[in-house]
Amino acid sequence: MRHVVKKSLLGSIVLLATLLGIASCTHTATVRNEQGEPLELEVDAIEKVPLNGTRQSIYLAGTDDDNPILLWLDGGPGGSELGWVRTYLGPLHEDFTIVCWDQRGVAASYAAAKDGTEVEDYVQDIIALSELLLDRFGQEKLYLLGHSWGGFIGTLAAEERPDLFHAFVAASPHVNSTENDTIGYHMVLDGVRRSGDAKTVRTLESIGEPPYETLDEEGNIVGDGEAYYAVLSRLYKYSPHAPSDVGFRSEKIFLSPEHSLFSKINLVRGLIRSIKTVYPKIRHMSLEEEAIEFELPVFVINARYDVSCAAEITERWFDSIQAPSKRMLWLEHSGHNGIYTENELFMDFMREEVKSTVEM
């Protein structure tokens, strides 16, 4: 198994370098309005900032530095959605100063993982970055949005420091690891059986249902990253196709011009490493047990075809939430990336529902 994974990693990096070899320099933002015209940005920066003893990269863009800040937490762990945010949500930069962030271990922040990759490290990074941004822009609160894994760590940060945020938006959030991964495991196994790939069927049957655990060199029970990688690396391929997926270019996650070639290679490396080393750490965690009481407005965006972070689990968690106010937006034609594939509906919701909380 390990030999195959290492070979896969090397092949992915070589392929990515071949595809993206022309673009080795870093650019600032190009975001467009609803008519496809480039926006004039008053805020446009790429910076390394100090966060809890590390230096991590952020990407800021917006048409007015007086607009409220929207701190964007990417999925993963190990992902960067900068290319998707800039491509599919360009008009939203007229309403918010959007701050994308390479989390520790991701792309341009790849090296920061050496200083810790516990769940609490990511939560404290969110808090430190929020404080830094509020101080810089002279604002009292900002909006926090987390997609997928970003929804998991963002929920924990919003619960711990509600004073920093106007509201929290959980978009297709990861809620319950073991239950969700069990659904994913059977979906992948069924898909592989239909494909006739007997070798992979044997591999998955030998792994069995999650949670996946093994013993480290000292005899301690730890998450089995190789087993998680074997399942999760196939999840997207065997997920059901949603009507709104037509025209969505998922490869843009690797094509952001704001990332250097080296950062793009580290994005691939970081995704694989994080699935193996970070994701297993949340195998026994569930937001249904850890975070249901909030002191700020909570918005949840759910997608009808989402299996990656199962829609029924997200709905159940939403129903249990206690907050000053809460609202769920259903994206009826989408899968896990519905905020990008039904982007107009999502952006309208952010303008008309979420942004209005600043006036509450």
Buried b (16+ CB within 10 A) or exposed e, 27-54: eebebeeeeeeebebebbebeebebbeb
Q: What is the pLDDT of residue 359?
A: 58
CA distance 165 to 50: 20
For the segment 6-22, the average pLDDT, to the nearest whole number, is 42
Its CATH architecture, for the domain 40-175+282-359, is 3-Layer(aba) Sandwich (3.40)
CA distance 59 to 93: 12
CA distance 216 to 224: 9
Ranking 79-83, 180-184, 243-247, 290-294 by mean pLDDT, the lowest is 243-247
Q: Which two tokens stand for residue 118?
A: 């516990």
Greater model confidence, 7 or 290? 290
Q: Which helix (H) or strand (E) holds 99?
A: strand 97-101
For the segment 8-24, the average pLDDT, to the nearest whole number, is 42
Neighbours of 61 (CB within 10 A): 26
Where helices occur in the chain by DSSP H, the ranges are 2-20, 82-88, 119-137, 149-160, 177-195, 198-207, 225-232, 235-238, 261-277, 287-290, 311-320, 338-341, 343-349
Domains of the chain by residue range: 40-175+282-359, 177-216+224-240
Residues 6+ apart with CB under 8 A from 78: 105, 106, 267, 270, 271, 272, 273, 274, 275, 278
Q: Which two tokens stand for residue 138?
A: 């002279």
Q: What is the pLDDT of residue 299?
A: 98
Q: Which helix (H) or strand (E) holds 61?
A: strand 54-62
pTM of the model: 0.92
